[in-house]
Amino acid sequence: MNARVVLLGGGYVTLFAYRALMRRLGGQVRSGRVEIVVVSPDDAHSFHGFTGEVIAGILPFARTRTPLAEVMPHARILSARAVHIEARQRLVEIERVDDGVRSDLSYTALVVGTGGREPVGRVPGMAHHGRTLRGPGDIRALADRVAAAVDAPPGSADRRILVVGGGLAGVELAAAAADRGAGDLQVTLVHSGPRLLPELDDQPRLRARARVELIRLGVAVRTGARVAAVDDGGARLADGTYLRAGTVIATVGQAPVPVPGLEEFRDERGRLATGPDLSVSTGIWAAGDAARVVRPGTREPVPANALWAIKAGAHAGANVAAYLHTELGLPGYAGRARRPFTYRGLGRAASFGLGRSISELYGIPFTGALAWVLRMVFFLRFMPSRRRALAVVGDLFSVRGRVRGAERRGVLQVGPRAGQVQSSVGRRGSRPEPVASRLPVRQA
C-alpha cells in the first residue's frame, strides 16, 4: 500500500522532518510508495536567525527566504492552510490561499508544525498598530519601516521606535534598529519584568554585557513597565505614561497557531501535548511552537526557539519513518523503533552588530568577536540552503571590507542601507563613532 505523510507549515519543523524522512525513506518517496505533502500558506521558508542583520541593513531580506520547492524538491507543495483536522478519519481540511477553495486531504501520518505568532491580542490596539515578526512578509515590512524611519523629518514620531518585550528577540531587534539608525533614530525598549533577558538569569555576565551594548547604541530601556494600549501615535503604559512612536514592535513571546479538531490534545496554552516520541495521537506528531514538547529529564517544556524546533522536527520525521516501517510493513527502512526525544539543548545568542554578540554554549558564556563568530557558524550551519549560506558569508565580508576601506579614509560608519558606508561628519543627528567600533572586537 502507498502512504502519504502530510507536513503542516513551512517552517523549521517541516523542513527538518522532510529531511529526516528523505534520509530514511528517500527511495520509497522517489518510487511513489510514499508521498510527502507540505501544506503552507507561505511558499518560502523564512530563516529568522539573521532577522537582526536584516533590520540593521547588514543583510538583504532575500537571504532569509528560500522557496519550499527548492529545499523540499520531492514533496508536493500546496499553497494552502489547514482549517480542520479529523483525527479519526485521518483527514485534513485545507483552504487554498489563491481562491479559498476547501478540500479534504487524507494522510497516513501527520506532522503539525504550524508554529506560533505573537499574542498581540492581549494588548488593546497591538494587533492593528503593532509590528510583528512571525507572519509571512513581517520581516520585510519591518525592515522597510525602519529604513523609512531613518529618512523621516527630524522631530517626527516616525523616527521613534518602541520595542515591547525584553527577551532575546526584543533586545536584538532594539539593537538592530538603533544600529541601522546610527544615531538618527530614538529607540526605546520596554519590558514588563524587573530586568531584561529573563532567559539569561543563569548568565548574569551576558545580561550585563547586553546592557552595555544597548547603552553604546543609545537604546533607552524601561523595565517594570507594562504596555496597556497601542494606537497610531505610540503606546500608553500601565502607569499612564504615553510614549510617542511611529513604529511599535511586539516581541512579547508566542502563542501557538492552532488548527481546529485536536482540542482534546491541547494544554492550557493551546499547545499540542506530545509524548516522549513527540506523538500526539495515533499517526499524528507535533513539534515547534505549536507543541508542548517536554525537556528530557524534566517536566518543563522546551524553549520556543528555532533550534528546538529544528531538532524536534527532525526527530518527529525519523519517528514517522519508523512508524511507516513497523506499522505498515513499508520496506526500505531498517531503522529502529520509535525513539524518545533526548535532545538537551546547545545554547543561546544575540547580536549587537558586526563583531558584537553574546552567546552561551553548553553553559559557557562568550562575548565580543568570539561570541559573534560562534553565533554565525551556528546559524550558517542550519540555513536551509548552502547557496544562501555562502551568499551570507559573501555579504558579511563585503560589508566588512567596505568598512575597513572607509576606516583608512577617515571616521566613517556603516550607513542605514545594507553595505552602504556613510560619513558621520555633518550627518543629521549622528553620533560620531570610530568605525573600529563596528568591526569585530576582542572577547571581553
Q: Can you give the pLDDT at residue 251?
A: 95
Q: Can you give the pLDDT at residue 405?
A: 57
The strand ranges marked E within 210-314 are 220-223, 227-231, 234-237, 242-244, 247-250, 255-256, 272-273, 279-281, 284-286, 291-292
Q: Can you give the pLDDT at residue 426?
A: 34
Q: Rounded distance, CA 265 to CA 110, Å?
A: 14
Q: Can you give the pLDDT at residue 23?
A: 95
Nearest to 38 by CA among 4, 66, 62, 64: 4
Tens of pLDDT, residues 248-307: 999 998 899 999 999 999 999 999 999 999 999 999 999 999 999 999 989 899 999 999
Q: Which CATH superfamily is domain 3-115+254-328 in?
A: FAD/NAD(P)-binding domain (3.50.50.60)
CB atoms within 10 A of CB 37: 19
CATH of range 120-252; options 3.40.50.1110, 3.40.50.2030, 3.40.50.12780, 3.50.50.60 = 3.50.50.60
Q: What is the pTM of this model?
A: 0.88
Q: Can you give the pLDDT at residue 151?
A: 94
Tell me which amino acid residue 113 is. G
Q: Can you give the pLDDT at residue 179?
A: 96
The residue extents of the domains of the chain are: 3-115+254-328, 120-252, 350-444
Tens of pLDDT, residues 51-63: 999 999 999 999 9
- DSSP assignment string, 153-165: PTT-GGGEEEEE-
Which residues 6+ apart lie within 8 Å of 299 measured at CB?
none
Question: What residues of the chain score a pLDDT lower than 70?
Answer: 1, 330-337, 400-444
Q: Can you give the pLDDT at residue 336?
A: 61
Per CATH, 3-115+254-328 and 120-252 having the same topology is answered yes
